[in-house]
Structure 1
């Protein structure tokens, strides 16, 4: 099979550990990168993606960050969609009632009210550092800059996440998309964007979604894998993701993406 774009999620998919791509993956991407554009697609911030691009030798390609809310080609902004600050303030009020902190992301800024085990993990795995300050202070600063927010990460417990999901879905159904990253984390993106809409933004004239192969593992990858030409799930992915995939490859720790490239993608 031949494709013009190869789009891959990072954490749990392309990354063999929490923060690195293997030499095997680097070699397989290197084998095909002249024949297909390699696009990294992540829920994370740009600064947490550039070092992976560098390792793969694809710094000349665009990146899709924040689940499609921000698309960059080097320093050039191709797409930026944000959550309005008034909506973020309302979400903050709801979350305060459930003892849940907000991680706020805009471009390459990451703000959290305090450190925690989750925040320390994020620092380690993304190789980026947050600004520590109260959430309302951050919102006041960004209001002055007239900056919206590309992503919100809600960091609580399983019980608080269970409680918040239906409340947020009902109250803000027209403003945001919600993704359950795991039992304790909820990611919030602008309503109008997804990984799929960002991929569509990167299609060149004459290219179709059928020309795209994509790899993923989590709920926020389902739409992307369903609508591209060929969707591949890693075996460690969510059951719902594997059910809609065209193919299931090995796990991320077994270099499933690289295995698939070597066995199925000819140039």
Structure 2
């Protein structure tokens, strides 16, 4: 079979509802790699929150973080690496509206650093088990970030997204993370996963028609549309399903990606 680039979203797609890779999913993705295909993670997560899955799958491929704002080959120098920043003024502007937007916290980061507006919140897992300290409070942000994360109530997510888009649409894009919490990610305007997947495909000289992508959420739509074969998860949003060529029979809790890929690649 022709070599494929297999672009996989994490939350709601490769990961189950417990944010884990099941043994079957790991097995199928590793068999795909052994068959000569390239498996690349394309996630909204920063590298520090996706590194464990990269290692678990024994990947050696480039990956997409921050929804395309960072495209890199972990642990190595890579000529095609790309990182896109936006103005830190936007971070401080949104911080000033924190109460009005009913935000739980605001975080800003790039590849190597992260800053957050409070250190007493329960979701410290967002920082890879590193408890935030005074040193990484948002007031210490001196450089332009790659990404911002803000969290609000689920019923406020759409309202907050619309307000941020209305204010900053000339400079940034806002997308939702898959998963149980209403986490919104903000990256530079025009950045999305398809941008990163294209960089990786071009680096391996893989035609667009030989890209298969899996996703479930709003931030996967452009990638599903761009890929030669886009596959939305059965548990995916209506927008993801509308952009895809096909939909898995099973959800992310039922190894939907692994089940589909095993049949698609005949491995």
State the TM-score, normalizing by the size of structure 2. 0.87
Q: How many residue pairs were aligned?
A: 257
1:195 matched to which residue of 2? 193
Deviations 1:17-55 (A, max 9, x none): 433211111211121203111100111111222221221
Q: 1:181 aligns with which of 160, 170, 177?
A: 177
1:70 matched to which residue of 2? 70
Superposition RMSD in Å: 2.3
2: CA distance, partners of 1:230 / 1:3: 14
Moved more, 89-98 or 147-156: 89-98
Please list every run of 5 or more consecutive structure 2 residues that lacks an aligned counterpart in the other structure: none
Q: Secondary structure at the match of 1:95?
A: coil
Please list every run of 5 or more consecutive structure 1 residues that lacks an aligned counterpart in the other structure: none
Moved more, 210-219 or 91-100: 91-100
1:90 matched to which residue of 2? 93
* 1:216 and 2:194 are equivalent in the alignment: no
CA contact (8 A) 2:44 2:177 kept: no
* 1:106 and 2:123 are equivalent in the alignment: no
1: CA distance, partners of 2:132 / 2:67: 22
TM-superposed deviation, 1:133: 4.2
2: CA distance, partners of 1:190 / 1:130: 27
CA contact (8 A) 1:45 1:108 kept: no
* 1:16 and 2:16 are equivalent in the alignment: yes
2:168 matched to which residue of 1? 172
CA contact (8 A) 2:11 2:19 kept: yes
| Distance 1:61-1:128 versus aligned 2 partners, 3 A rule | farther
2:237 matched to which residue of 1? 238
TM-superposed deviation, 1:254: 0.6
| Distance 1:64-1:200 versus aligned 2 partners, 3 A rule | same
1: CA distance, partners of 2:240 / 2:71: 24
2: CA distance, partners of 1:22 / 1:97: 40
CA contact (8 A) 2:119 2:131 kept: no
State the TM-score, normalizing by the size of structure 1. 0.87
